[in-house]
Structure 1
Amino acid sequence: MSRSAFAVVLAAVSGTAFAQAGAGLRGRLTDAKTGEPLLVCPVSVISGGNTFVETDLEGNYELSLPPGTYDVRFWCDQYEGVDVKGVKVADGFLQRDLALKPVEGSFVEEVVVIGTVDTQSESGLLLQRKMANTVQDSIGSEQISRSPDSNAGDAVKRVTSATVVGRNVFLRGLGGRYAATVVNGVSLPSTDPDGHQAPLDLFPNALLSTLTVQKTYSAELGGAFAGGVLGIETNSYPATFQAQVKLSLGVNSESTFHSRRSYEGGSLDGLGIDDGSRGLPESVPEDRALTTRDSQAEEVSESFSNVWSSRRSGGLPNGGLSVSVGNTHQWGGGRAFGYLASATFSRSAAATNADVQTFRIDEQELIPKDLYRSEFGATNTNLGALLNAGYQWDALNDVSLLALFSRSTEDSAQYLSGFSDTDGANFDATRLKFAQRMLSFNQLRGTHRFGTEGAVLRWQGNVSVTHAEEPDTRDLLYLEDDGVRRFRQAANSGERFFSTLSDTSGGASVSLRVPVGRVEFTTGASAQLSQRRFDARRFAFLFVGEDPALLSLPAEEMFSAENLGPSFLAEERTFLTDRYDGFQSLYAGFASAELPLAERLRAVAGVRVEVFSQQVDSGSPFAQGQAPESTDRTTVNPLPALNLVYGLTDKANLRAGYSFTVARPQFREIAPFLYYDAIRRRSVSGNPDLVSSRIHNADLRWEWFPTESEVFSVGGFYKHFIDPIEQVVVSSIQGDVGYRNADGADALGLELEGRASLGRVSPVLSPLRVGANLSLIASRVNLGSNQQISTSESRPLQGQSPYVANVNVSYTRESSGTEVSVLYNVFGRRISEVGFNRLPDTYEQPFHRVDLALTQQLSQQLRLKLTGTNLLNQAAVFRQLGTDVFRYRPGLTATAQVEWSPL
């Protein structure tokens, strides 16, 4: 960004949070000729007091004053000031709008005001986007507040070309390793043992300031870049004292007060906390594997809780509570201290009843294989806390500390019943599971400016701890034999699974921006280290007795105390690959330069060099066999980037970008062993021969900002992948999969966006705003010789939607404090499961989602928000060759939220 553009951005300081009570003067300052708002203009009391404020990004100001008579000055650089004398203030606020005249014959002088863009507002985000060096899209807390979205995963779907599959974001149709997520500029580890991203539902909206998707690469970013980078910025401290309490209550048409699957758990399950009853019993030996011949086998068997079966219970309403408080204290000399503390808790119930089919194929016809009913019930809890504090000792230097904690749990019961072609019998299966995920992120960062036009030094240090635990997951399977229901002793039946994942990561970075003439140079370095351990143990209850009639008893009777010992004993079934230790390091340095090539053309060119190392050691001491060989690899990647920005007019840009980036395999994908994916009931094999994918990225975008809150844009992109890493089927029996480098892949896309006020059509329609975006994406992966037994040699990227569309219409009536928003989202059909052994790919069908949000100011301190999601109550459908193989309804959710701001 050029110095003049940088000055404009810095001049857009955060708008003051206007008080909802008291007395004083409020209004708007505009340019008398153009009508444009005047920002960062002082409104000061010159007689009767010494208070002053500055206008915000929209030219608004609010000057709080006690009752009395005042002389007030309105002034802005390069404009004729106005003094208004004898302003009488009683109760309430007086409205005073002024249009200031530009000073005739004045010359344009660059004025730098140190501050930050108010990126929570839509206009602030658009200003930031207009001045940015890269192609990016974003959504702020102001826009999020108009929607029914509850966490980052819900909110990011409103961004152009962003979709969410499960808990992970897909950017431009690319997910997993191809879509990075960073928090305040730092990449976080995933809480999923087999995942790439930190799950977005760990970030409730109460903690969010902005979500920004950067779509073209720049050297300041980490080199693992393909679809884009989702940047999560947490809330910062407010300019004035603020306190808020939010209480919400909601219902879901599928789960609330409806019968759903659950089970007898711990005493603190309602709070999402395991009371210890699911912990690995103390009697389980820690120095050896448990066998049925062990002298402690009976004692250990009896120490497990005897809960195996699910039950039906009514789902309670959803609820949430969040509290926040913040302020900034200012002293002379530009010193200031600010803070924001917030905490949030939510609890929701879910019920999913689905019809499931599996098939075999005869020529081109699907033949039914398994047909069963899935009943799933879950209780989800989320707890989040944030502390953000900063100190500014003058206008040029500041430092801030962020502490973020997020914890989520899913307590679930699943019951399957139907016919299994593999077993040739009717069956019923039960899974009881309690999964908890925790993230703690701590960051210290600072900014130091050496004069208003001098160098800028930025630095940060961070430490994060991720922990995921799955204590005592229980699997049970019964088959019907000659009309008699019998327990089947087999893998994933009568088994209990315990796992923990811990990841500790730390690092630091520093960058220096130095203007030299008309060129701005930026250089920096970073280091990020991560230590990960995954550890799991498995135990199976084996029939060792002589009376087979016991196998037809219900599980709690079958595994009762009198039967444990003589008839059933627990035995260790831990896999050799159920433990691994991984270490990862990333050292990087970069240099870039921003230089004007012409009056309206600027270029930002840079290169980043990354040294990436991975080490994986595996092998559980509770399993037999020889531990796999360790994996140790180091790669060096130079990553160039070029971005061009041409200012067609003061309100329109043409952007182009090219970069060469990388996508790397994760720990589990390079370890040379098999591990079991319990969710999909198949084995997954690592591949130590995997190499990193390299990606050529090219972008072109035109964008027009007719006003500070409107935008229209048209863009396109192309990506070529070299050695893309793909998950392919390697066994036709159970559909086991592995990882291979495909020959190549390509992705081509078109992105359209528009946001405007209907006041352009008629002044009567000015309270209405409309926004829409559309992405059209085509991709193709060529598996070549790595096809194995996959059905297709060439197919679209797994999880990539050919189109994604969003439409929103909002109505605002400031006089009554009413705001209504209707939002629509749809994605095109996408591959959810890759076909194998001539079976076709399974596609998730388009899902049309309509949401509604109504906000009403009830009083100066009280606000009501009513929301409805999935108003069409559409079902999620997965199909193979036109036949539904999985179908369920997520249900319609309605929520009422009351927000109280006591001051």
Structure 2
Amino acid sequence: MFKLKSLPLFLLLTTITLSAFAQNTGKIAGKIIDQKTSETLIGATVGIEGSAKGAAANVDGRYILADLKPGKYVVIVKYIGYQSKSISDIEVKAGAVTNLDIALSEATTTALKEVVVRATYRQASVASLYAIQKNSVSISDGISSELIKKSPDRSTSDVLKRVSGTTIQDNKFVVVRGLSDRYNSASLDGTPLPSTEPNRKAFSFDIVPANLIENIVISKTATPDIAADFAGGNIQVLTKDIPDQNFVSLGAGYSYNTQSTFKNFQSGYRNTSDYFGFDGGARELVDNFPTTKQVIGPPRLTNQQNIQSINSLNNDFNIYNKKAFLGQSYQFTLGNVQEIGKNKNRFGTTIALTYRNAETTTPGLIRQYNNFDFKEDQYKFSTNVGALANFAYSFGNNKITLKNLYNRTFDDIFTYRTGTNNSNGANDNRFYAFDLTQKALFKTTLDGDHKLGASNAKIDWSLGYSNILNNQPDQRKINYVQPNAGGAYVASITNLGKENARFFSDLNENIYSGKVDFKLPVKLFNQTSNLKVGIASQYRKRDFNARFLGVIIKDGTSDIRERPIQTLFGPNAINSGAFELDEISAPNDNYNAHSYTNAAYAMLDNKLSEKLRVVYGVRVEKFDLKLNTLDPDQPQPRAELNNTDFLPSVNITYSLTTKANLRASYYRTLARPEFRELAPFSYYDYELLATQEGNSNLKRTAIDNADLRYEFYPSAGQIFSVSVFYKKFYNAIEPSIDDVNSSTTISYFNAKSAYVYGAEMEARKTLDFIDDAGFFKNSTLYANLALTKSRVQNPANPNLLEPSRSLVGQSPYVINAGFQHNAFNNALSLNILYNRLGKRIFYAGGSNFPSVYEAPRNVLDFQIGYKVLKNKGEIKLNGNDLFNQNYNFYYELDKNPKGGTGNTFKKYKPGSTYALTFSYNF
């Protein structure tokens, strides 16, 4: 009997067998689109001249001509109401797919005589690429899977920093047009992505592996058919579904970091399951652990209950030493496509598994801020596991797709910190932190695309479910102080506090979403236009629970306090009754929240003439949010929002020439408070040296946006564009800083006024104009530059050092540049990438200290790839951050921009990383 567990092996063997049989034939595949609008032409027929072999474009406009013997062919393309096209010189190779996207023009006459446009393979490819580039409805930028393959990027966050006007904070949070992550939104396969962070509104893009991406598009202007909760950009990530051919791909890679690999690596307790991204429960509280009420009393726990409870905790405080191993990455991808029945319906499967593990060190990190003068070493153990399973069935004028993604990250950081802290009066401190964070994302999306009748009307629908987990199972912090110079160090365990606590938290969020879009082609002004209407709904529910526990010593004069951390909580000390369990409890440590967003829109994509296209409409969004805590002394819900917003937009495109567009747009968008920004929960971040808490009185932000852009396409794949934009914020949400006391508090406020304006330039040009027969023929140079300025009013507090400032995270300039070269018939590829951004506010200023800036740094990456084994295998050598310049975060005293002695908030070097990978396609 066939068993389910045998299915992966069966699919693998089937795919390899089919691939072996297919090696003697090839395929032609691609998409058929309208030359003027890039709309897919469903049902267009494609045939081989002189042969009965043919195919029809499906609901995506895609077609496949399979089982073709190697050689050159002529393809004939036909569609009612459009000029037929004959394309010659199409070369088919054994075991390969020749990609041919085709753009058709509407017939200019109703005469019976058929008009056939003739073109070569290269001309047809150029024309279709032009059409896709020029006909975007909104101002947008993006990157395709082909460009991703040629870059050294391993995660989506790495990829995004290559897009014009886009930067990344903390290696994972996206900033678009100088606006931080909270002013951007993201979707994966058409449904919204939730915030993965417990203390900010942000999606951690480093959890989506780059090799699973089909393409990324960042819409910088709004149209009514996309969610309006953004100001900088709406980031749309699409993963792969139906492949053009069957394949199995295996890949493995190893990386070397100049300051980590093969050097001493310290860590706390390590479990085998950590290497697979799971704690395994060894750090979690046991099921029968005392409740908060039992711990804090009255009555408090008995001596025996204390001993039993403390022993149930993971009291392994040993610091383990080893040599950091090479970073590892492995991936397996399977693609399978089958034609079913005489109508050649297609069923496609894409399955991918990814694994990454790394041990990195940040030695000599400096923190000098407020009362602190610290130096620390950080050691980070990271595991990332991912799985993708996409299934699609295309039949007639219909397509059903089921896309599933699971990803899990496991980051375990050990920190050893020394130095002075003037607030505790110690001569020196020795601080230890064991901090594990586990994140998981599961996302499933069911889509349907259907053509209705002969009018090319189309209905699309989508149902989505997402689950986000963010878990800190046992963040442990212990500090030793030296009361007297040259004296002994003693553990600060006489009471619970920022330097002696164990933190346990769980965040669980579910998102349910659905939408329906209907598109109807209509004739207006003798031009084909499109009317589009739709509805969408989303429900989010979050539960967050936290406990601040700790073990304190009963006798503060005990010699136990002088024990090293490895034996501080040894069994003999615990069983002697020297300790008792304690807890810092607040009614806001736990909260739950939910929100509903219901939307409807109508828009018209209107061709007013051959040159003028106007897309206009309105979106209406109804938003309801409620957030509750367990505080009996406060009315519930603690936070509540109820808004209905009418959001108009208009995007105008004028074709100056066949190669140039002038675009203009106006649109209104929103930025809503995130659950965490509203929750009054307080959390001390030992890395920020500050307490973070929400503000339950926040309002939603409304933004008026205007854009103007000129774009010129000198030839296929090349572009020159210049854009300017302006954004006006009403009730902008920004961090507020209270640094009057020894411990800083970061919260949020609605700014009375804020604005952003700027300009962007992008250029991509092949260098064949220098020499069209030599080295430069296959070389491309590209660059993008963004210049941005912003201003926001701080709260009306006369004690603040800065009445106004730039928005947090906004860089005055961003530069991306690169050089690509292919040689030996594309067997060798070279890609060099450069990135630099201007100084930006990392941490807003308060009453005692001005804003902390992140200083500019130059980043240079490269990739060299070489195809081997008849182009089935590829070896890649990647280099990241070759300059290895300091990350320098500083504040300016007396207007000193250098960030000199005493002005450093944080400074460290990440090290350069070199990776060697090998992949093979069966």
Q: TM-score range by the shorter chain?
A: 0.7 to 0.9
Q: 2:428 aligns to what SS in structure 1?
A: strand
Match of 2:653 in 1: 645
Distance in 2 (CA, whole Å) between partners of 1:437 and 1:94 is 38
Query: Deviation at 1:468?
Result: 1.1
Match of 2:408 in 1: 407
Do the aligned partners of residues 371 and 159 (structure 1) sit closer, same or farther apart at CA in structure 2, a change above 3 Å counting?
same
Select which of 839, 851, 857 maps to 1:847.
857
* 1:358-757 map, 5 Å: 358-359=368-369, 369-394=371-396, 396-424=397-425, 425-451=427-453, 453-482=455-484, 483-489=487-493, 490-518=496-524, 519-545=529-555, 547-564=557-574, 565-619=576-630, 630-672=638-680, 674-733=682-741, 734-757=743-766
Match of 1:888 in 2: 908
% same residue: 28
Do the aligned partners of residues 314 and 627 (structure 1) sit closer, same or farther apart at CA in structure 2, a change above 3 Å counting?
farther
Q: 1:468 aligns to what SS in structure 2?
A: strand
Aligned residues: 841
Distance in 1 (CA, whole Å) between partners of 2:798 and 2:684 is 20
Contact 2:56 2:63 in 1 (8 A): no
Deviates more, 1:349-358 or 1:205-214: 349-358
Distance in 2 (CA, whole Å) between partners of 1:556 and 1:285 is 25
Q: 2:809 aligns to what SS in structure 1?
A: coil
Query: Deviation at 1:551?
Result: 1.1
Q: 1:323 aligns to what SS in structure 2?
A: strand
Query: Deviation at 1:122?
Result: 11
Distance in 1 (CA, whole Å) between partners of 2:237 and 2:710 is 25
Contact 2:840 2:853 in 1 (8 A): yes
Deviation track 1:341-371 (CA, whole Å, cap 9, x = no partner) reads 11111111221124424345xxxxxxxx432
Match of 1:5 in 2: none
Select which of 762, 769, 792 maps to 1:781.
792
Contact 2:552 2:582 in 1 (8 A): yes
Match of 1:117 in 2: none
Structure 2: which 5+ runs fail to align?
Answer: 1-17, 31-40, 117-124, 893-898
Contact 1:342 1:386 in 2 (8 A): yes
Q: 1:759 aligns to what SS in structure 2?
A: coil
Match of 2:35 in 1: none
Query: Deviation at 1:520?
Result: 2.2
Q: 1:377 aligns to what SS in structure 2?
A: strand
Distance in 2 (CA, whole Å) between partners of 1:442 and 1:794 is 44
Do the aligned partners of residues 26 and 194 (structure 1) sit closer, same or farther apart at CA in structure 2, a change above 3 Å counting?
closer
Match of 2:144 in 1: 140
Do the aligned partners of residues 230 and 766 (structure 1) sit closer, same or farther apart at CA in structure 2, a change above 3 Å counting?
same
Contact 1:782 1:794 in 2 (8 A): yes
Distance in 2 (CA, whole Å) between partners of 1:805 and 1:241 is 40
Select which of 196, 204, 209 maps to 1:199.
204
Contact 2:465 2:511 in 1 (8 A): yes
Distance in 2 (CA, whole Å) between partners of 1:138 and 1:408 is 26
Contact 2:404 2:442 in 1 (8 A): yes
Q: 2:146 aligns to what SS in structure 1?
A: helix
Match of 2:330 in 1: 321
Q: 2:308 aligns to what SS in structure 1?
A: helix
Match of 1:177 in 2: 182
Distance in 1 (CA, whole Å) between partners of 2:586 and 2:131 is 55
* Amino acid corresponding to residue 219 of structure 1 in structure 2: P
> Are 1:161 and 2:170 counterparts?
no
Contact 1:306 1:556 in 2 (8 A): no
Distance in 2 (CA, whole Å) between partners of 1:328 and 1:721 is 49
Distance in 2 (CA, whole Å) between partners of 1:329 and 1:466 is 34
Select which of 246, 263, 268 maps to 2:273.
268
Distance in 1 (CA, whole Å) between partners of 2:163 and 2:668 is 24
* Amino acid corresponding to residue 469 of structure 2 in structure 1: H
* 1:239-258 map, 5 Å: 239-258=244-263
Query: Deviation at 1:287?
Result: 7.3
Query: Deviation at 1:61?
Result: 11
Contact 1:308 1:476 in 2 (8 A): no
Select which of 352, 359, 370 maps to 1:342.
352
Do the aligned partners of residues 350 and 643 (structure 1) sit closer, same or farther apart at CA in structure 2, a change above 3 Å counting?
same
> Are 1:237 and 2:238 counterparts?
no
Do the aligned partners of residues 507 and 557 (structure 1) sit closer, same or farther apart at CA in structure 2, a change above 3 Å counting?
same
Query: Deviation at 1:284?
Result: 1.2
Match of 1:876 in 2: 887
Deviates more, 1:775-784 or 1:892-901: 775-784
Match of 2:224 in 1: 219
Q: 2:295 aligns to what SS in structure 1?
A: coil
Match of 2:782 in 1: 771
Select which of 805, 809, 831 maps to 2:841.
831
Query: Deviation at 1:288?
Result: 3.1
Distance in 2 (CA, whole Å) between partners of 1:496 and 1:71 is 69
Do the aligned partners of residues 784 and 545 (structure 1) sit closer, same or farther apart at CA in structure 2, a change above 3 Å counting?
closer
Do the aligned partners of residues 646 and 384 (structure 1) sit closer, same or farther apart at CA in structure 2, a change above 3 Å counting?
same
Deviates more, 1:540-549 or 1:252-261: 540-549
Select which of 272, 284, 294 maps to 2:301.
294
Contact 1:628 1:672 in 2 (8 A): no
Distance in 2 (CA, whole Å) between partners of 1:156 and 1:464 is 22
Q: 1:128 aligns to what SS in structure 2?
A: helix
Q: 1:760 aligns to what SS in structure 2?
A: coil
> Are 1:351 and 2:357 counterparts?
no
Query: Deviation at 1:268?
Result: 2.0
Distance in 2 (CA, whole Å) between partners of 1:253 and 1:221 is 44
Query: Deviation at 1:452?
Result: 5.4
Structure 1: which 5+ runs fail to align?
Answer: 1-16, 30-38, 113-120, 361-368
* Amino acid corresponding to residue 153 of structure 1 in structure 2: S
Deviates more, 1:795-804 or 1:507-516: 507-516
Distance in 2 (CA, whole Å) between partners of 1:312 and 1:788 is 51
Do the aligned partners of residues 71 and 181 (structure 1) sit closer, same or farther apart at CA in structure 2, a change above 3 Å counting?
closer
The TM-score normalised by the length of structure 1 is 0.87
Match of 2:37 in 1: none
Distance in 2 (CA, whole Å) between partners of 1:899 and 1:806 is 28
Match of 1:13 in 2: none
Contact 2:589 2:682 in 1 (8 A): no
Match of 1:11 in 2: none
Question: Aligned Cα RMSD in Å?
Answer: 3.5
Deviation track 1:234-293 (CA, whole Å, cap 9, x = no partner) reads 112212112211111111112111113312222322222212210102341247341483
Contact 1:732 1:789 in 2 (8 A): no
Q: 2:164 aligns to what SS in structure 1?
A: coil
> Are 1:128 and 2:132 counterparts?
yes
Distance in 2 (CA, whole Å) between partners of 1:91 and 1:286 is 68
Do the aligned partners of residues 111 and 183 (structure 1) sit closer, same or farther apart at CA in structure 2, a change above 3 Å counting?
farther
Contact 1:391 1:398 in 2 (8 A): yes
* Amino acid corresponding to residue 500 of structure 1 in structure 2: D
Contact 1:703 1:714 in 2 (8 A): yes
Contact 1:820 1:855 in 2 (8 A): yes
* Amino acid corresponding to residue 466 of structure 1 in structure 2: I
Query: Deviation at 1:756?
Result: 1.3
